[in-house]
Amino acid sequence: MAGEANLDELAKQLDQSLSLGDQHASTTVTVAAAGLEGISDSSVPEKRSDVESLYSVPSAVGSLSSIDEDIDNKAATAVQVPLTAYMPKLPKKATSLFAAAASPVHHIAHMIKNGAAKRIIVMAGAGISTDAGIPDFRSPETGLYANLQQYRLPYPEAIFTIDYFKRKPKPFFVLAKELYPGQFIPTISHFFVKLLAQKNLLLRHYTQNIDCLERMAGIESALIVEAHGSFHSAHCISAKCRKEHAQAWVKEQIFSDKVPHCTQCKSLVKPDITFFGEGLPQRFFELLDADFDVCDLLIVMGTSLQVHPFASLIDQVPRSTPRLLVNRERVGESSIGGIGFDFDGKHVRNTLHRDALILGDCDEACLLLADHLGWKEELLKLRAEFVAKHKLNGT
């Protein structure tokens, strides 16, 4: 295909443009990262600071959503953000894991291909599900918290606060009906994680999401840590009872606009989602230390890193482990060395620069990374087969 040839040529331009970082370049190379039809290959130069060289890719969210437009048109409303691989100009004495003349995407793909990264942990937030039509939480206009006026809450987070839920459970269950699993299709990002699992490269997938899309994509439960719980199971909230209730029964109650009550003690029944004021699932703590101690590549996608203890997990990997953030904005940085991301190498005098950043849509970034790995067609086929199967089944 012509798109494939253009992609190869523009990939070369990418590495050439990124190598200009040491010369304070301000070059933008725009390419069709996904190699999909109908994406412009035009280049748009922009002014950049003297510490960075940037590579931008037009979002292909519209093209991706066309794969399953008959199933879920919500994805087409996602805000489109250019994809940018960040290349900092590091302090002169800084030692970096990443070659100055190559993009971080290229370097990380090389690590995976040559076997240097084979115990990969993925940390994910709501950003990997937005292309499925599920809103994230904190985006100013489109986020979930910005659109809860109908529930007349004292503050947005109240809908996920256990004390408020005990007093007024109805708002949560009205919202739960809109968000309930089975109404959304897993995104390219979910299937990228599945590919890592299929290739025995995924150590664990830690997710803040409650949408169960990882499970729908076919990732084995043993590889998933739902740090904030999910709709997959439900229990009575009474400490004296704690009776488990079948997911099908809870779903039937919710979709009948009823508030589920325990069949044994009549207390409220709540999906096993971790609310503010509740402890995280035991599985989170059981696997945390062993997983992060041996992680050799950390990929963080689509999260604001504002909720702890999940946010602090990025500091649990060994000091020599590279970390890649894929997000619509820079997050997780700190003015204190050794805490949080350090994309610009401000604190690398006695440590190694090991943090890479891709700004933009998670699906686009996963397609770009898959292309560097030689997995792009496999990734697109995996999702297309899933969509075709669900169309056939009418789900």
Question: What amino acid positions are annotated as catalytic residues?
Answer: 228
Backbone angles phi, psi at 237, to 5 degrees: -85, -5
Instruction: Give dist(CA 352, CA 340) in Å, integer.
Output: 14
- The number of CA neighbours under 13 Å toward the Cβ of 205 is 31
Kindly give the residue spans of alpha helices, DSSP state H, lying in 222-361: 247-255, 282-294
CB 196 within 8 A of CB 112: no
In degrees, rounded to 5, the angle at the alpha carbon of residue 270 between the alpha carbons of residues 245 and 184 is 90
Contacts of 337 (CB under 8 A, 6+ apart): 346, 347, 351
**Which residue type sits at 213?**
L
Instruction: Give dist(CA 57, CA 29) in Å, integer.
Output: 8
- CB neighbours (10 Å) of residue 327? 23
Q: Which tokens is 1 given? A: 């295909």
- Distances in Å between the Cα of 164 and the Cα atoms of 158, 172, 229, 254 are 6, 10, 18, 18
